[in-house]
Amino acid sequence: ITAGTLHAAQLLGVDGSLGTVEAGKTADLVVCDGDPVADIDVIGDPSNVVMVFKDGRIAKDSPRAAR
**What pLDDT does residue 51 have?**
93
Q: Which of the two residues, 66 and 1, has the higher pLDDT score?
A: 1
First to last CA, the chain: 26
Q: What mean pLDDT comes out for the span 13-42?
A: 90
Q: What mean pLDDT comes out for the span 13-17?
A: 94
CA dist 58 and 2 (Å) reads 22
CA dist 6 and 13 (Å) reads 10
Q: What mean pLDDT comes out for the span 7-31?
A: 91
Q: Which of the two residues, 28 and 7, has the higher pLDDT score?
A: 7
